C-alpha cells in the first residue's frame, strides 16, 4: 500500500486496544505530557514523585493534577525505515534488530506499524500486534532511490531528484496514522538524516507530530561508503524533530550497535512519567503553547516535548 502526497490517502486503520486508563491525547480540558529524566551521568531516573516537578505553560505555572511513573498506557510504535540508496548495505541489519525490538517491547495492548521511505513512502504493515506480520513486513524492506547526492538540496530538480522523503514520511505517519490514536505514541526513524525532495518542510513534520502527541526518536545510522568515504551527512533536522517532540537522536557506531540503540529506546519508554494538567488559559485558539518542566533537583534534566497546539477538540 503506497502513501502518496497528491491527495492524502485515508488509511484503513486496524482496531485499537481500548483502555480505561488516562490517555496522553490533548483533549478539551487536560494536557498530558510524557517525559524522561536523566542524571548527570546520563542514567535514567525513575523514582521521582509529583512534588519533584514544576510545570509552566507560556511562562505561567500550572497545577499538576495527574502524575504517574512507569506508565502502562497502551503504546503505538511507528517504525520508519530509510531505504534510499545510501542505506542499501544497512537494511539487513535493520531487519534483524527491528524484529528483536518489536519482539521485546510489544505487549498485548500495544500495536506497531511499519513504513519504508526512499523516493516514496510505503506502508508495509498497518497496525498489528503480530510478530509474524511484522517480520513479514520487515522482510519486504528493499532499497528504493537514486544514488545519494553529496550535497542534496531541498527541492527536487533534474539534477536533484526525489530520493529520501524523510519529512514527508514523518508527516504522513503522524497525520494519517497516529493523530486519532490514544495512549503513548512513538515514531522511530532509522535514517542517515538526509532529506532529498520532500514536499513538506521539517517544520511541517514537527507540527504534525506535535498535533498527534507523538514522540520522535531518531536513529542516526550512516554508511560512510555510500558517500564515497569522505562525506558524512549531518543530523541537524533529525535532532530538531526529535527534541521538539520530546525524543532524542541516538547514533549507531562501532561502540553502539543498532541492537544497543533499540535497547536504550526500550528502557527509556519503560521509565517515562505521565503528567497531566488543566491549562490556566482555556482558550482553544489553535496557538502553540510552550511547555517548560523544571525539577527540584537541579542536577537532573528532563526530556519532554517543547509544547502543544491548543486546537479545538476534533480538529487537526
Residue 21 has pLDDT above 80, yes or no: no
Mean confidence (pLDDT) of the chain: 86
In terms of C-beta density within 10 A (0-12 exposed, 13-18 middle, 19 or more buried), how is residue 297 classed?
exposed
CB atoms within 10 A of CB 38: 16
**DSSP per-residue codes, 196-253:** BS-SS-HHHHHHHHHHTTEEEEEEE---GGGGTTS-----HHHHHHHHHHT--EEE--
Mean pLDDT for the stretch of residues 255-277? 94
Mean pLDDT for the stretch of residues 76-81? 97
Mean pLDDT for the stretch of residues 230-250? 93
Give the pLDDT score at 295: 98
Query: What SS3 class is residue 279?
Result: coil
Give the pLDDT score at 129: 96
Residue 302 has pLDDT above 70, yes or no: yes
108 pLDDT band, cuts 50/70/90, is very high
Mean pLDDT for the stretch of residues 45-74? 93
**Do 80 and 169 touch, CB atoms closer than 8 A?**
yes
Nearest CA among 17, 143, 136, 123 for reference residue 79: 123
Give the pLDDT score at 314: 62
d(CA 33, CA 290): 12
The pTM of this model reads 0.85
For the chain, strand residue ranges (E) read: 2-3, 31-38, 53-57, 60-62, 64-69, 75-82, 111-117, 121-128, 184-191, 214-220, 249-251, 273-277, 288-295, 301-304, 307-309
C-alpha cell at position 77? 510504535
* Percentage, residues of the chain above pLDDT 90: 73
Give the pLDDT score at 149: 52
- 6-20, 34-48, 74-88, 208-222 — which is least confidently predicted? 6-20
Residue 23 has pLDDT above 60, yes or no: no
Nearest CA among 80, 66, 77 for reference residue 105: 77
In terms of C-beta density within 10 A (0-12 exposed, 13-18 middle, 19 or more buried), how is residue 296 classed?
exposed
Give the pLDDT score at 157: 36
Give the pLDDT score at 148: 52
Q: Beta strand pairing status for 2-3 and 121-128? A: antiparallel
Give the pLDDT score at 3: 44
Residue 72 has pLDDT above 90, yes or no: no
* Beta-bridge mates of residue 188: 79, 217
Give the pLDDT score at 155: 39
Give the pLDDT score at 145: 56
Mean pLDDT for the stretch of residues 189-214? 96
Greater confidence (180 vs 159) lies with 180
Written out in words, the top-level CATH class of the domain with range 74-269 is: alpha beta
69 pLDDT band, cuts 50/70/90, is confident
Give the pLDDT score at 315: 64
Would you kindly state where each structural domain of the chain is located, as residue ranges? Answer: 31-70+271-309, 74-269
Amino acid at each position: 500500500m503506497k502513501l502518496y502526497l497528491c491527495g492524502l490517502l485515508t488509511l484503513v486503520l486496524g482496531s485499537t486496544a481500548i483502555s480505561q486508563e488516562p490517555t496522553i491525547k490533548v483533549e478539551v480540558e487536560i494536557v498530558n505530557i510524557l517525559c524522561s529524566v536523566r542524571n548527570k551521568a546520563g542514567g535514567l531516573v525513575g523514582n521521582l514523585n509529583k512534588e519533584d516537578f514544576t510545570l509552566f505553560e507560556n511562562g505561567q505555572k500550572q497545577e499538576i493534577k495527574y502524575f504517574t511513573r512507569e506508565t502502562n498506557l497502551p503504546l503505538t510504535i511507528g517504525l520508519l525505515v530509510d531505504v534510499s540508496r545510501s542505506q542499501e548495505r544497512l537494511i539487513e541489519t535493520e531487519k534483524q534488530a527491528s524484529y528483536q525490538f518489536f519482539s521485546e517491547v510489544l505487549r498485548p495492548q500495544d500495536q506497531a506499524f511499519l513504513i519504508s521511505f526512499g523516493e516514496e513512502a510505503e506502508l508495509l504493515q498497518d497496525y498489528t500486534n503480530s510478530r509474524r506480520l511484522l517480520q513479514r513486513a520487515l522482510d519486504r524492506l528493499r532499497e528504493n532511490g537514486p544514488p545519494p547526492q553529496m550535497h542534496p538540496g531541498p527541492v527536487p530538480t533534474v539534477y536533484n531528484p526525489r530520493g529520501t522523503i524523510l519529512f514527508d514520511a514523518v508527516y504522513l505517519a503522524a497525520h494519517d496514522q497516529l493523530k486519532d490514536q490514544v495512549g503513548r505514541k512513538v515514531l522511530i526513524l532509522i535514517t542517515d538524516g538526509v532529506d532529498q525532495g520532500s514536499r513538506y518542510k521539517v517544520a511541517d513534520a514537527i507540527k504534525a507530530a506535535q498535533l498527534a502527541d507523538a514522540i520522535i526518536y531518531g536513529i542516526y545510522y550512516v554508511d560512510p561508503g555510500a558517500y564515497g568515504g569522505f562525506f558524512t551527512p549531518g543530523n541537524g533536522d533529525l535532532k530538531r524533530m526529535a527534541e521538539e517532540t520530546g525524543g532524542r537522536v541516538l547514533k549507531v557506531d562501532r561502540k553502539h550497535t543498532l541492537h544497543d540503540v533499540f535497547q536504550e529506546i526500550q528502557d527509556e519508554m519503560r521509565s517515562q512519567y505521565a503528567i497531566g494538567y488543566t491549562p490556566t488559559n482555556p482558550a482553544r485558539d489553535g496557538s502553540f503553547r510552550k511547555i517548560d518542566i523544571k525539577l527540584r533537583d537541579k542536577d537532573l534534566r528532563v526530556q519532554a516535548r517543547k509544547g502543544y497546539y491548543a486546537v479545538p477538540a476534533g480538529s487537526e
